[in-house]
Every structure is written in C-alpha cells, then in structure tokens.
Chain A
Amino acid sequence: MAASPLRRVLLVEDDPDIRAIVCFALQSVGGLSVEVCASGSEAIAKAPRFLPQIVLLDVMMPGLDGPSTLRALRGLPQTAATPIVFMTAKVRPHEIEEYRRAGACDVILKPFEAAELPERMRGIWSRIHGEADREPT
C-alpha cells in the first residue's frame, strides 16, 4: 500500500541558528508542518501530541543527546516506530555506522544544502515506505 505523503516533521536541534534555517527550509520552502524543539526532553514532551511522521534529530545536544532522545522516543507508544533521521557534524565513517546501529534510518551530514532539505526528507520518507512495501508479510 502506498504511503501517505510526508506532512509532519518533528525538528530537534539545540543550535538556534540551525533551527531557524531548517525550520524555514522545511516549512516555507517544503510546505511541511514542523514542530520545533530545542532539546531532547522537549521533543519527548511534544512528540505524543504532535504525532510526527518523521523526526529530524540533532546528534550533539546538551542534556539528552540524539541517541538518548531516540531511545526515549522508541519507548513512547506514539513514536515507537516513527522513522528518525539524525543530522550531525560528526561525520567519520565509524560515527555514522554507530548512528545507524543506534536506529537512525538515515544520517544527514552538516553542512547541507538547506534549500534541498525538503526533497531529501521526502526522498528518505519514500525510501522507507518502499522498503516497508517490499518486506514479506
């Protein structure tokens, strides 16, 4: 069954400048509905009400970092299966491998082309659903 189009993104990023840029790109350029969070704990509080289709999550954050936030979101019934994309400035091959093992469905490396971000997110969304469609039932 074809997936519904991507509409709701939960953005978690502690850097206010990057938060503003990503939010503008996803919302104003990409026409997506974005719930913005400045920390992992804010994301955990907002996610059950917002019900994101996908989460765009910074890795290095004070307090709860990306992988800890991912584990906490997995523990909530509303977001247990929500795809999570990491964005990170830590780009070494073993670090990226570690994020994938932690459960990230994709990793966006900083810096990125902000204007292309909505298309990248839609591409990831389609890919996830393509893969899900191919899985045996």
Chain B
Amino acid sequence: MRERQAELARAYAAALRGYLSGAGEAALMRAYQAGRDALTEDLGVLELATAHQQALVDVLGELPPKEHARAARSAAEFFAEALAPFEMSQRGLRGQLEEHERLERLKNEFISVVSHELRTPLTSIHGSLNLVVKGKAGELPPEARRFLEIAYRNSERVVRLVNEILDIQKLESGEIALDVRPVELAQLLADSIEANHAYAGGFDVRIALDGESPAVKVLADPDRLLQVLANLLCNAARFSPPGETVALRAVRLPGLVRVCVSDRGPGIPEEFRARIFQRFAQAAPSTPSGREGTGLGLSISKVIVERLGGRIGFESEVGRGTTFHFELPEWHEEAVPAGGTTR
C-alpha cells in the first residue's frame, strides 16, 4: 500500500511538473487517470490527498524559493481540477473517461487522414517548385525566380508543419518507441553543430561550442536528441541578429548534465513565457519576416526530453537574449544496461 501511494505521488509530481510548464489539459488528464487507477485498487480519496501533498513537496523542492508561491497557487488549482471528477458518480466517471478515449481516437484518426490528404497535393506543389527552383526545368527571369523561391520556401514550411503535427501526435501517443542507449554527449553536440551550421549561416549567424564539453554519457535516443538540439539551435539562429553567435554549452551537475543554447536575440516577452511550450505558440511581433517556425518545435522538444526522463526550461531577458536548456540524467555503466527501447 505504502509503495503504491509513493508511486501515485510520483505520477502526480510528473503531471504537476507538466502542468506548471504549460501542458494544461494533458497533465490534468494524466493526474486524473493516475488517481482513477489508484481508486480502482485499494486506495481511497484520503490516500490520493496524501499523494497530492507529497507531490507538491517534491515539485516545490525542485524550484527556486522565489517561485514557490506562484507554483503552490497553480498546484492548488491543479489538484482541485484533478480531484473534481471523483465527486461525480462512478458511472459519470466511466462515461467521462470513455468519452475522452473516444475523442482521443477521433483526434488520432483525424490527424492521420489530414496528414495523408495534405501530402498528396503537397507532393505536386513542392515537387514542381523544387524542380523549377533547382533549375531543372530551364532558366527563369530573375523576378519570376524570386517569387518562385518564396513559394518554394513556404511549401517547405508546410511540409515541415505536416511532418511535425504527425510527429508530436506519434510521440505523445507512444506510437514511436525511442531507441535509447548510452550516448557520448560531446560527440552529439559536435554533430548537432555540424548539422545546423548551414541553416544558421543563412541568417549570417554562427553556432559555436562554449567551453569544453564534459566527457559524459547520457541515456538517450541519439536521433531524437539531435532533433531537440536542431530545434533549439535553429530557433536561436532565427532570432539572432546577423553577425551574432549562438552558444552551445554543456555543464555537469550532480547526477545530471545540462545542455544550454544561448542567443542574443530580442528575448521572450513576459506575457508569452507561460505558453512557450504549447503547440503553435509563437511570439509573432518578435519573429522577423521569413524566419517563422512551425510553432511545434518546442512542444516536440519538451515531449522528447520528458520521455527521456529529463526536463527542459529557459531563462530570458528582453532585449538581451534567451538561453534554453535541458537536463538529462548522466549515465554510468553500472546503472542501466546498454540498448533497449522505451515507450
């Protein structure tokens, strides 16, 4: 019983972390489902409340003291919402859950159909523009080329968007199994610079390693971690003034490694910060024309980092720049066997 309650407290703590960093309804649903599972076993509402308390203590302990009051207020709302369904009848609960599951299935089917239906016309649009812009269909007058390049760049953006919508849905539903293994962090950071320097160069921005990377390994899916780094580095490059450098730095903390990506861009407006990891969240006025992202990169990065057992966050000062960071547990040979997958 005690172990089950501790497990529930851990589940609540994970959901609360998600809620505090903007996951909203998804976090609430996770907390509600964890509570519902516990209630169907031996635990009662009293044990649920105790687990809530433990989760709150654990999560507050991870935050700097100046954030405690705000987090405690949000946690109170969170737990009130997560417990609310239990006030309804068991029949009502089942009905709600079945409805939620039905909507999830519909959403997944909708995403799948939309993705497929968009891909077919996009193949014609993007394929034609690709051939013309790459000069495979003959020479073009300069003005025509300029406008076709605009069309091509935007078709690339729609392709990215369609890919990322499906990607986030697959990651969240667990449809993608992560190929987790011990990864040399220094090599991975070097690879990420190599893979993204041309993109940054398009904005006249350099990416450079700040200091020597610690010789550590983390337990991660290397392709997915490169995807996180690509999102953070490309965002930083897009928001940097020309001629600036995006700094990539890794530091060792007790039991953890923290990777930071810093830019000297305009910073993130205060009112936008709470929503920054939400899907399609973009601080429009500070995004220079032609540098728009899809609005999904940070949401995808957050899902990946959390599925790898880590955390992602940022510090920003308006007018001075932004640093995004993520932390992953350091891997030691005796801790976990190499290889394997996680859902």
Contact = CB atoms under 8 A, between A and B. Distances in A.
A24 B122 CA distance: 17
A57 B128 CA distance: 19
A89 B123 contact: yes
Interface stretch (B49-57, B129-137, B253-261, B287-295): B129-137
Given A91-B115, A111-B159, A21 B131 contact: yes
B40 interface: no
Contact of A111 (B112, B123, B175): B123
What's the interface size class on A, roughly?
20 to 34
Contacts of B166: 91-92
A70 B226 CA distance: 36
Contact of A92 (B122, B134, B137, B170): B170
A135 interface: no
Contacts of B115: 89, 91
Contacts of A114: 126-128, 130-131
A110 B126 CA distance: 10
A137 B175 CA distance: 39
Given A21-B124, A91-B166, A110 B134 contact: no
B10 interface: no
What's the interface size class on B, roughly?
20 to 34
B112 A18 contact: no
B131 A29 contact: yes
Given A28-B136, A29-B136, A89 B127 contact: no
Interface string A72-85: 00000000000000
B120 A115 contact: no
A91 to B, nearest CB: 7
Contacts of A94: 175
B120 A24 contact: no
A93 B170 contact: yes
Nearest to B126: A111
Interface of chain A, helix or strand or loop or mixed?
helix
Given A25-B136, A91-B166, A112 B127 contact: yes
B116 interface: yes
A89 B131 contact: no
The winner among B119, B127, B159 for most chain A CB atoms within 10 A is B127
Interface string B86-123: 00000000000000000000000000100110011011
B119 A91 contact: yes
Nearest to B137: A24
Interface in A67-110: 89-94, 110
Contact of B120 (A25, A29, A93, A110): A110
A91 B175 CA distance: 12
A1 B267 CA distance: 60
A21 B112 CA distance: 25
Interface in A97-137: 110-115
A68 B31 CA distance: 46
B124 A18 contact: yes
Contacts of B176: 93
B170 A18 contact: no
Interface in A5-25: 15, 17-18, 21-22, 24-25
A89 B116 contact: yes
Contacts of A92: 112, 166, 170, 175
10 contacts: A18-B120, A21-B124, A21-B131, A22-B127, A28-B136, A89-B115, A89-B119, A94-B175, A111-B125, A114-B131
- Nearest first, the 9 closest Cβ-Cβ pairs linking A and B are A89-B119, A114-B127, A17-B124, A21-B127, A110-B123, A111-B123, A115-B134, A111-B126, A111-B122
